[in-house]
């Protein structure tokens, strides 16, 4: 054994479905704008707005809603009817109220790991929304701590794995995003287990660090406990 003390879990698209809800909301957004603008290339315009707005509003549903409104104004040259803006706001609220559905095997895996390690949720996004999702997930009791952060950088992981254990050398991060969960955790000196998800937000893409000795891949969360035994 490697002396692992702490396991960090990303939440969105690692513990529960998330991106698919955003994709459905984006489809609703496209349908709303179709009568008022050329929706060819709309996704790219929306992604540009999201990328710009991370620096102003951070991650999550509220930031996404503001990006949809901004894009609606842009692509209609300011002529988007106010009822459409109301509908976009409603779509954003629906996203914030969407039921949380955990992936198969999540509860069993957490139950198997609980007590042997400190289990910590490490997620970025909107504080209010992430707290709501965790509270309604039915799995919050498995965790020793929850950390909702504005950005996942190497120093974020170094700080959190020291706070909740014996530092990054004795920690592993589990998540679906190479860019946010895997690369910065490895850079901090932790282990990292990537669980790819078929839907991953365009701004989270990165190349897999196959040459990194502390990098592992799992096809599903149920593969994490046996993988831990090999570290
Ligand atoms: Mg994620």
Question: What tens digit of pLDDT does each residue of 106-163 get?
Answer: 999 999 999 999 999 999 988 889 999 999 999 999 999 999 999 999 999 999 999 9
Summary mean pLDDT of the chain: 95
CA of 217 from ligand 1 middle (Å) equals: 15
CA of 192 from ligand 1 middle (Å) equals: 14
Two tokens at 229? 């035994």
CA of 20 from ligand 1 middle (Å) equals: 12
- What percentage of the chain exceeds 70 in pLDDT? 99
User: How far apart are alpha carbons 188 and 60 in whole angstroms?
Assistant: 25
Residue 89's SS3 state is helix
- What percentage of the chain exceeds 90 in pLDDT? 90
Query: Strand 191-194's sheet: what is its strand order?
Result: 145-149, 118-124, 6-9, 171-175, 191-194, 215-217
Which residues are CB-neighbours of 25 under 8 A, at least 6 positions away? Answer: 64, 68, 91, 92, 94, 95
CA of 156 from ligand 1 middle (Å) equals: 16
CA of 19 from ligand 1 middle (Å) equals: 8
Two tokens at 183? 């690369």
CA of 12 from ligand 1 middle (Å) equals: 4
Give the pLDDT confidence of 21-41 residue by residue, as tens digits. Answer: 999 999 999 999 999 999 999
- Could you tell me the end-to-end alpha-carbon distance of the chain, in angstroms, rounded to an integer? 6
For the cut 70, the answer to whether the pLDDT of residue 45 exceeds it is yes
Residue 2: its pLDDT value, please?
60
> 67 with 49: CB under 8 angstroms?
yes
Tell whether the torsion through CA atoms of 130, 132, 137 and 143 is positive or negative: positive
CA of 219 from ligand 1 middle (Å) equals: 15
User: How far apart are alpha carbons 132 and 214 in whole angstroms?
Assistant: 33
Tell whether the torsion through CA atoms of 115, 121, 127 and 133 is positive or negative: negative
pLDDT interval class at 1 (50, 70, 90): very low
Residue 74: its pLDDT value, please?
96
CA of 124 from ligand 1 middle (Å) equals: 9
Residue 27: CB atoms within 10 Å:
12
CA of 201 from ligand 1 middle (Å) equals: 9
pTM: 0.91
Residue 35's SS3 state is coil
Residue 126: its pLDDT value, please?
87
């Amino acid at each position: 054994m490697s002396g692992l003390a702490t396991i960090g879990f990303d939440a969105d698209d690692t513990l529960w479905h998330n991106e698919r809800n955003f994709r459905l909301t984006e489809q609703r957004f496209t349908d709303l704008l179709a009568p008022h603008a050329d929706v060819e290339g709309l996704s790219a315009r929306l992604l540009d707005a999201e990328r710009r707005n991370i620096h102003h509003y951070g991650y999550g549903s509220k930031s996404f809603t503001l990006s949809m409104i901004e894009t609606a104004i842009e692509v209609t040259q300011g002529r988007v009817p106010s009822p459409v803006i109301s509908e976009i706001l409603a779509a954003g609220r629906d996203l914030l109220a969407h039921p949380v559905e955990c992936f198969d095997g999540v509860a069993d895996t957490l139950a198997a790991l609980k007590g042997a390690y400190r289990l910590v949720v490490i997620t970025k996004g909107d504080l209010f929304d992430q707290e709501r999702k965790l509270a309604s997930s039915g799995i919050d009791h498995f965790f020793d701590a929850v950390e909702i952060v504005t950005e996942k950088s190497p120093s974020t992981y170094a700080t959190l794995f020291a706070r909740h254990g014996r530092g990054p050398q004795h920690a592993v991060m589990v998540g679906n995003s190479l860019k946010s969960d895997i690369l910065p955790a490895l850079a901090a000196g932790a282990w990292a287990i990537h669980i790819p998800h078929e839907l991953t937000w365009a701004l989270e893409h990165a190349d897999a660090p196959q040459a990194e000795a502390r990098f592992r891949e799992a096809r599903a969360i149920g593969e994490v406990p046996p993988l831990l035994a090999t570290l």
